[in-house]
Amino acid sequence: MRVLLIAGGKSPEHEVSLASAEGVLKHMPLPTELAVIAKDGRWLLGEEALKALKAKVAEKGEHPFPPPLDWDRYEVVFPLLHGPMGEDGTIQGFLEMLGKPYVGAGVAGSALCMDKDFSKRVLAQAGIPVVPWVALYRGETPLVPFEPPFFVKPANTGSSIGISRVERYADLERALEEAFRHDRKAVVEKALPGVRELEVGVLGNIFGEASPVGEVRYQAPFYDYETKYTPGRAELLIPAPLDPGTEETVQETALKAYKVLGLRGMARVDFFLSEGELYLNEVNTIPGFTPTSMFPRLFMAKGLTYPELLRRLVELALS
């Protein structure tokens, strides 16, 4: 059994992907080779890929797409590409054409969860509570049907990149410009009062199993990029201090969303708990595997070691 791990990518989450890959390579119990997609879209293989991992960034690659790989060498591909051009169904479509089993969601599920607007529409239609929102394309008149404060986000990024908290309408245009630097569509979401941020991991193909629920606490105005990836800036509580009824509701809602969205392999499902009301925030089909990431810790709390978790993901890809 040989695994090909693909990391890096052209998205703003390039460095996060490499940090995740370092953790996976360290704990993967199966023979694994690394391929890195540089920021310019070209690929690095073999020793050059490992050098990029050590440098924590790859600005330029050596090989165009598709790279000169013997794909038959690998039984399973593990695309560990966070954000656009990796988590959005693009690399998954290529692997489908190759006929290679791969870890994680398929083309449709990946694309749907990457787009915060589309995924909210599907979840809301299924009766899953989501935060009030409106989607805007560049050039549209920004009509927001609720009062500030609200959050402005690129529709198709992760790791809190391009997000702004807006306290007054006068700052909306500037926040939208920041979001449009990263995407053609922006999402404006109502800011909820007294929010607790909860996260739960899911493993499985369509019918998943849920991890214990974790909680993220921090001092920043919101869970931004620096807070997420700087050790010590956020406190991860596993299990979250919740009453049994609330924990069960979070887990059941996560599993329902996982099935509704047609996901496979894994996901991290994020929630807001505000004044006793639960809202699904977003679903991450390629969660982080960095030293500060919640997903592997959630399943460790369930008794699944890091190597066992990775083996399970490979088995789910093969099945």
**Residues in the chain with pLDDT values less than 70:** 159, 220-232
Say what the pLDDT of residue 112 is: 97
Which one of 11, 156, 159, 281 is the catalytic residue?
Answer: 159
Answer for the pair 59, 36: CB distance below 8 angstroms, yes or no: no
Which one of 88, 189, 247, 282 is the catalytic residue?
Answer: 282
Which one of 264, 268, 297, 312 is the catalytic residue?
Answer: 268
Which one of 288, 293, 297, 306 is the catalytic residue?
Answer: 288
Q: What is the DSSP track for 167-233? A: SSGGGHHHHHHHHHTT-SEEEEEEPPTTEEEEEEEEEEESEEEEEEEEEEEESSSS--HHHHHSTTS
229 is catalytic: yes
Which one of 9, 13, 17, 61 is the catalytic residue?
Answer: 13
Say what the pLDDT of residue 159 is: 61
282 is catalytic: yes
Say what the pLDDT of residue 79 is: 98
The CA distance from 14 to 17, in Å, is 5
70 is catalytic: no
Which one of 229, 258, 279, 306 is the catalytic residue?
Answer: 229
Which one of 17, 119, 270, 281 is the catalytic residue?
Answer: 270
13 is catalytic: yes
Say what the pLDDT of residue 306 is: 95
Say what the pLDDT of residue 92 is: 98
268 is catalytic: yes
Say what the pLDDT of residue 223 is: 61
Say what the pLDDT of residue 90 is: 96
Which one of 284, 293, 297, 312 is the catalytic residue?
Answer: 284
Q: Please state the φ and ψ torsions of residue 123, each to the nearest 5 degrees.
A: -65, -45
DSSP alpha helices (H): ranges in the chain?
A: 14-27, 46-55, 90-98, 107-114, 116-125, 172-180, 225-229, 244-260, 294-300, 306-318
The string of pLDDT tens digits covering residues 82-108 is 988 999 999 999 999 999 999 999 999
Say what the pLDDT of residue 228 is: 58
The string of pLDDT tens digits covering residues 265-295 is 999 999 999 999 999 999 999 999 987 899 9
